[in-house]
């Protein structure tokens, strides 16, 4: 289609796909089926037409090629063909990739993904990796409005745990997904079972996160500290412990943990970000944020995205937002502009020259009277300078 053509509906795409099938033009039929999947990924008619195409082509996967810039509809169509060909793990890998690309779309809400017998045909470790792939691109927690497209993966997790009830990696990954989708009690249950089956650092981390989401801070800290004991060199867990302590007002303990991490590696990104955030939280010194901004600039290849700097700056004038100017002369300016009529204002003293100049330029009819000039005279430089930004004619400022 030409780029300026409006997008066709799923029904229109299917009509074109059927016409192409009737003419044995499988390539064009595949293009229209892929486009229909994007419009309506769960529509039964789309899947029926895909099945017809598969029958006509002998299940030719090359009709839906993968490349550096693959079309998401082709990726999803290929996933369904792989599942139909008895290769559901590869299909799930592609569906998870599509979910990461467009998480608000119900790519996985199809019967083969939620079938109770699917996990019997999957290696449990592969299932765990697929769930981890979904978690890697999902917020923690997922906003309510975005949870429904991910629920088929949670159904897959339930079915997999039923088939493999003691697989530690599967239980931990299932817990991570359940936690993101608000199923906190289930997350605790699964993570606890995973740790009982085999205590590992990753299992304890998953359990700690589940406890933390459930509001069980003491249990969360205990699990995370067990994770450190199992792997003292994973400094990301030190940062998690510090963040959890700080969230509950235990800032000194938090800083002690982060100092322990920095002593091992003063350049580890999670520790550096957390350290600057906590130190700013402690004393409010913006120098910590400047140092963090410098670190972010100098280390663009962090292990993952951090929000510490944005969190510290959020809502703070000149750090997270530009605060609207204030003062009597600008209040009068706003009144003059709103009233579209002459307004007069009497000032007790000089306002900043930028405010005075803005008022003079934006509302020439605004009459400003300055009652007195303070001592020392704010119109004069405080010290000798070769670059004076403002000059005055009486109380009128000019750049």
Provide the residue-wise pLDDT of the chain in tens; the chain has 399 residues: 334 344 579 999 999 999 999 999 999 999 999 999 999 999 999 999 999 999 999 999 999 999 888 999 999 999 999 999 999 999 999 999 999 999 999 999 999 999 999 999 999 999 999 999 999 999 999 999 999 999 999 999 999 999 999 999 999 999 999 999 999 999 999 999 999 999 999 999 999 999 999 999 999 999 999 999 999 999 999 999 999 999 999 999 999 999 999 999 999 999 999 999 999 999 999 999 999 999 999 988 766 778 999 999 998 988 888 888 888 888 888 888 888 777 788 888 888 999 988 888 888 888 888 989 988 998 888 888 888 899 999 988 889
How many Cα atoms are found within 13 Å in the side-chain-facing hemisphere of 335? Answer: 13
Rounded Cα–Cα distance for residues 211 and 188 (Å) = 6
Count other C-beta atoms under 10 Å from residue 182's C-beta.
Answer: 14
pLDDT tens digits, one per residue of 250-292: 999 999 999 999 999 999 999 999 999 999 999 999 999 999 9
pLDDT value, residue 215: 96
pLDDT tens digits, one per residue of 324-344: 888 888 888 888 888 877 778
> Domain locations in the chain?
1-85, 116-231, 250-315, 328-398
Site of tokens 């510090």: 242
Please, which residues have CB within 8 angstroms of residue 73's CB and are 6 or more apart in sequence?
33, 34, 35, 36, 37, 38
Count other C-beta atoms under 10 Å from residue 217's C-beta.
Answer: 15
Percent of the chain with pLDDT over 90: 74
Count other C-beta atoms under 10 Å from residue 54's C-beta.
Answer: 20
Nearest-CA neighbor of 33 among 85, 74, 1? Answer: 74
Give the class (CATH, top level) of 116-231. mainly alpha
Contact present, 191 and 207 (Cβ < 8 Å): yes
Contact present, 91 and 59 (Cβ < 8 Å): no
């Amino acid at each position: 289609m030409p780029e300026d053509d409006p997008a066709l509906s799923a029904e229109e795409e299917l009509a074109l796909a059927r016409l192409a099938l009737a003419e044995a033009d499988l390539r064009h039929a595949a293009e229209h089926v892929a486009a229909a999947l994007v419009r309506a990924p769960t529509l039964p008619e789309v899947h029926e037409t895909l099945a017809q195409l598969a029958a006509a082509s002998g299940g030719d996967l090359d009709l839906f090629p993968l490349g550096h810039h693959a079309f998401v509809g082709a990726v999803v169509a290929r996933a369904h063909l792989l599942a139909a060909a008895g290769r559901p793990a590869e299909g799930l890998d592609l569906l998870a990739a599509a979910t990461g690309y467009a998480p608000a779309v119900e790519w996985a809400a199809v019967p083969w993904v939620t079938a109770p017998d699917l996990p019997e045909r999957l290696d449990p470790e592969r299932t765990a990796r697929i769930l981890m792939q979904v978690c890697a691109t999902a917020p923690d927690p997922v906003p309510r409005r975005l949870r429904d497209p991910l629920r088929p993966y949670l159904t897959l997790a339930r079915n997999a745990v039923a088939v493999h009830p003691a697989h530690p990696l599967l239980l931990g990954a299932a817990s991570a997904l359940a936690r993101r989708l608000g199923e906190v009690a289930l997350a605790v249950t699964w993570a606890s079972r995973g740790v009982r089956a085999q205590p590992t650092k990753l299992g304890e981390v998953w359990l700690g996160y589940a406890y933390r989401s459930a509001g069980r801070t003491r249990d969360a800290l205990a699990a995370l500290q067990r994770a450190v004991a199992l792997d003292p060199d994973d400094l990301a867990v030190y940062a998690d412990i510090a963040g959890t302590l700080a969230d509950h007002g235990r800032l000194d303990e938090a800083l002690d943990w982060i100092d322990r991490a920095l002593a091992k590696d003063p350049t580890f990104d999670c520790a550096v970000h957390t350290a600057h955030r906590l130190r700013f939280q402690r004393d409010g010194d913006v120098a910590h944020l400047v140092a963090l901004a410098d670190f972010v600039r100098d280390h663009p290849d962090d292990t993952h995205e951090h929000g510490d700097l944005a969190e510290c700056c959020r809502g703070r004038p000149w750090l997270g937002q530009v605060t609207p100017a204030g003062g009597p002369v600008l209040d009068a300016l706003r009144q003059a502009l709103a009233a579209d009529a002459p307004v007069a204002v009497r000032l007790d003293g000089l306002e900043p020259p930028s405010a005075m100049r803005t008022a003079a330029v934006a509302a020439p009819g605004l009459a400003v009277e300055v009652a007195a000039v303070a001592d020392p005279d704010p119109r004069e430089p405080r010290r000798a300078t070769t670059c004076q930004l403002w000059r005055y004619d009486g109380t009128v400022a000019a750049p």
